[in-house]
């Protein structure tokens, strides 16, 4: 598999496309200068306690208060609160590696949030989910700091290994290296990327994360809540950190500042990979040059085509996302409907797994597959869907097909759903979704003719309209065109043009020059 990353930078946003064998599999959009990204650590102030929800709202500087539930306080919230208090002005500041931490934790399973947080209290929190729709960010007080090979977990001494690492020898090596360098009261999760990483790389990753924790705590003394203590790296570098491996052939960036930033990061984590980072200087936009724009247009539409006439209908609401699988005309042309339905469903499953990841759908996804009568086929489809979703880094759960042929998928919702406009503006309504009533069209045209003949003294007016309107204006012996010619003592000519919008009208003189500039609302504007 050949993987490529393309980064498009504009003044307002950064667009990042991840392709596998030149097929778009992931598209991320980061709005510039907005902040509040997943992983950011803030010094917040508790604004409101909600005992009924066992939760609190925290002011972190966002337009909407962020939400934290009792279950998201972590097991050592009291120790975290001590550290926050110790770094406030006038205090010396506690070092985590010198504190006495209860390994069993400090939070009761069925406890109350009021035992740990009070209104007005300063608290260190981390963004777990970005603001979505009308909801503010979701917070956690269980702080973690991610590196390329590890995730540092303060207030614990555990060394955990990714389940994707199978080799027992490798697990022993990684545990030994991590345990040898970890300070007291710091734990770590060894990521899959650590496989085959050198002992030195892992040690440096852990020490860098510990130093980041130390600097984050020191920022408390310098900041006034609400304030950002430690920002997560930009989205491009985050993707590189989480996915960069031997399958990457190039990272292409169209902005020099971003190119230098990515080069610096790649050089730090894997110096040999710096050669694949390239600055794109072409005149054609980077996404157009690498056929990404076309894929975006076709993939984010409501209707997604599959092979041999089958297609998906994909719709998204606030409550859930729905996918309907349709066979098109295939079942009508083939005798074995069960086999045909299975083939369409398997092809649809491949595209659905890709689309869910591409659109970054979170929450509940309902897929309406074509009905399968054989239980072994339903089981096979379920297992295939699990296999296809296995590469998705977002946490998800897939349930077997119900008796109605519905499959339920729940997927971790971290950031807003990716929405990309794949439609052009309607030439008739200008994108408003509304047009003037046709019953008022003749009155509008007559008002403009009155203006041109009585006020501007034109003796000839050519009306260029759609064929539908032309037929309407010329209908009958005593047509509207003839009435207007007699009433305003001018020659009125009606010309049908299929390129003209349904209710658009162009007013011209004998030479075909426009003599009236008309806005979308139908109001005339004088030429300057």
Write down the domain spans for the chain: 3-34+234-293, 41-230, 302-411, 438-525
Provide the token pair at 194.
């650590």
Q: Do domains 41-230 and 438-525 have the same CATH topology?
A: no
339 or 307, greater pLDDT: 339
Task: Tell me the pLDDT tens digit for each residue of 341-379.
Answer: 999 999 999 999 988 988 888 889 999 999 998 999 999
503 vs 429: CA distance, rounded Å: 9
pTM metric for this prediction: 0.64
pLDDT band per the 50, 70, 90 thresholds, residue 11: confident
**Cβ 520 vs Cβ 430: under 8 Å:** yes
Lowest mean pLDDT among 123-132, 236-245, 444-453, 518-527: 518-527
pLDDT at 520: 44
33 has pLDDT over 90? no
CATH 2.40.50.140 fits 41-230, yes or no: yes
User: How much of the chain, in percent, has pLDDT values that exceed 70?
Assistant: 89
**Is 346 strand, coil or helix?**
helix
Radius of gyration of the chain (CA): 31
Q: Mention every residue, 6+ apart, whose C-beta is less than 8 A from residue 457.
A: none
448 pLDDT more than 70: yes
- Is residue 31 predicted with pLDDT exceeding 50? yes
From the list 12, 3, 14, the residue with the least C-alpha distance to 286 is: 14
Q: Can you tell me which residue has the tokens 């504007």?
A: 525
Would you state the pLDDT for residue 97?
A: 85
**pLDDT tens string 387-416:** 999 888 788 999 999 888 899 999 987 665
Reply yes or no on whether the pLDDT at 423 is more than 70.
Answer: no
What is the architecture of the domain spanning 3-34+234-293?
Answer: 2-Layer Sandwich (3.30)
pLDDT score for 484 = 93
Is it the case that residue 53 has pLDDT exceeding 50? Answer: yes
CATH class of this structure's domain 302-411: alpha beta
Mean pLDDT of the chain, nearest integer: 85
Pick the CATH number of 438-525 from 3.20.20.150, 3.40.50.300, 3.40.1260.20, 3.40.50.720: 3.40.1260.20
- Which one has a higher pLDDT value, 437 or 292? 292
The residue with greater pLDDT, 133 or 98, is 98
Higher pLDDT, 202 or 241: 202
Query: CB neighbours (10 Å) of residue 231?
Result: 13
- H or E segment to which residue 67 belongs: strand 66-69
Q: Are 120 and 241 in contact (CB under 8 A)?
A: no
pLDDT at residue 238 greater than cutoff 60: yes
pLDDT tens digits along 98-119: 888 877 777 788 889 999 999 9
């Amino acid at each position: 598999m050949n993987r490529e990353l393309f980064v498009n930078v504009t003044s307002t946003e950064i667009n990042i496309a991840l392709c596998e064998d030149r097929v778009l599999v992931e598209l991320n959009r980061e709005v510039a200068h907005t902040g509040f990204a997943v992983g950011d650590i803030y010094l917040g102030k508790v604004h409101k306690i909600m005992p009924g929800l066992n939760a609190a709202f925290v002011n972190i500087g966002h337009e909407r208060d962020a939400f934290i539930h009792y279950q998201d306080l972590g097991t050592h919230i009291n120790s975290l609160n001590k550290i926050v208090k110790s770094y406030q002005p006038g205090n010396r500041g506690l070092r985590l590696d010198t504190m006495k931490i209860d390994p069993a934790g400090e939070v009761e399973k069925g406890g109350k949030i009021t035992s740990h947080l009070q209104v007005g209290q300063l608290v260190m929190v981390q963004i777990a989910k970005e603001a979505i729709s009308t909801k503010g960010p979701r917070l956690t007080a269980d702080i973690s700091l991610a590196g390329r090979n590890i995730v540092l977990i303060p207030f614990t001494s555990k060394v955990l290994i990714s389940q994707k690492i199978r080799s027992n020898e490798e697990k022993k090596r990684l545990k030994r290296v991590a345990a040898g360098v970890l300070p007291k009261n710091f734990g770590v999760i060894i990521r899959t990327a650590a496989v085959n990483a050198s002992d030195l790389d892992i040690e440096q990753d852990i020490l860098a994360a510990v130093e980041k924790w130390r600097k984050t705590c020191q920022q408390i003394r310098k900041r006034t809540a609400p304030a950002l203590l430690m920002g997560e790296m930009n989205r491009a570098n985050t993707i590189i950190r989480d996915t960069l491996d031997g399958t990457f052939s190039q990272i292409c960036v169209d902005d020099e500042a971003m190119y230098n930033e990515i080069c610096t990061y790649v050089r730090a984590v894997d110096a040999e990979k710096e050669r694949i980072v390239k600055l794109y200087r072409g005149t054609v936009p980077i996404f157009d040059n690498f056929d990404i724009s076309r894929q975006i247009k076709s993939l984010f539409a409501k209707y997604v085509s599959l092979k041999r006439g089958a297609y998906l209908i994909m719709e998204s609401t606030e409550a859930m996302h729905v996918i309907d699988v349709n066979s098109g005309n295939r079942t009508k042309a083939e005798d074995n409907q069960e086999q045909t339905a299975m083939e369409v469903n398997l092809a649809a499953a491949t595209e659905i797994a890709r689309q869910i990841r591409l659109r970054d759908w979170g929450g509940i996804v309902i897929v309406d597959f074509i009905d399968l009568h054989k239980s072994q086929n339903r089981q096979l489809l379920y297992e295939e869907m699990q296999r296809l979703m296995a590469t998705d880094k977002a946490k998800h759960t897939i349930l077997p097909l119900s008796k109605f042929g519905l499959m339920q998928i729940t997927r971790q919702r971290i950031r807003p759903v990716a929405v990309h406009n794949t439609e052009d503006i309607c030439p008739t309504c200008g994108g408003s979704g509304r047009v003037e009533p046709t019953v008022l069209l003749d009155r509008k045209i007559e008002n403009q003719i009155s203006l041109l003949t009585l006020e501007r003294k034109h003796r000839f007016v050519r009306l260029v309209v759609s064929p539908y309107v032309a037929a309407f204006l010329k209908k009958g012996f005593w047509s509207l065109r003839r009435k207007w010619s007699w009433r305003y003592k001018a020659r009125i000519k009606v010309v049908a043009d299929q390129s003209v919008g349904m209710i658009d009208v162009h007013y011209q003189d004998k030479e075909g020059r426009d003599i009236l500039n008309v806005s979308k609302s139908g109001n005339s504007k004088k030429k300057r």
